[in-house]
Amino acid sequence: MNKDVGRSAERELVKILRETGFKAVRIPTSNSSPNPLPDVFAVNGELLLAFEVKSTWENKVKVRSMQVEKLLDFLSMFPMRGEAVVAVKFKTLHQWRFVKVHSRCDLIVNVEDSRPLHELLVEQQNSITGIDASLLLTSKALTEHPSLQPSEGGLRLHQEA
């Protein structure tokens, strides 16, 4: 992934996370650093999300075990509940999708085996608040973030090409 494209995708993800209730930051040196740093991390309550971010025109993207290991090692430094997540912007679909990772290994993220990013956001909000956060995300995100659009199955992320 081109570095400028990667930075742009990371910034876009930070914006989406912030507008859906997370405190989020991009770590600009994450890939070049030997330290266990994710591309992006986000906090909401006692939940910490660590993201490896990818952007592609293809229908799949490879994530190296070293990148996954950095996410898991980063999360292990904190006492709060954490989730390691690979977030991929599939540009041909104008969609963000994700997979949660639990083990140190190379993996291929494709459209079929990943989930829409809004599902992660709703799932995490539900676990934090104990209520159906899809209602909260629907009202807040639709008015504040143009990339969250309603669809028959609920919210979906839509990005301009």
Provide the residue-wise pLDDT of the chain in tens; the chain has 161 residues. Answer: 466 767 899 999 999 999 999 999 999 874 567 889 999 999 998 899 999 999 999 999 999 999 999 999 999 999 999 999 999 999 999 999 999 999 999 999 999 999 999 898 888 777 666 655 444 454 444 444 545 544 444 444 444 43
Quote the pLDDT of residue 2.
Answer: 62
Quote the pLDDT of residue 147.
Answer: 52
Q: Which helix (H) or strand (E) holds 123?
A: helix 117-129
**In whole angstroms, what is the distance from residue 47 CA to residue 40 CA?**
14
Quote the pLDDT of residue 124.
Answer: 76
Amino acid at residue number 18: R
**In whole angstroms, what is the distance from residue 88 CA to residue 56 CA?**
7
Quote the pLDDT of residue 58.
Answer: 95
Q: Over the range 80-108, which residues count as b (16 or more CB within 10 Å of their CB) and which as e?
A: eebbbbbbbbbeeeebbbbbebeeeeebe
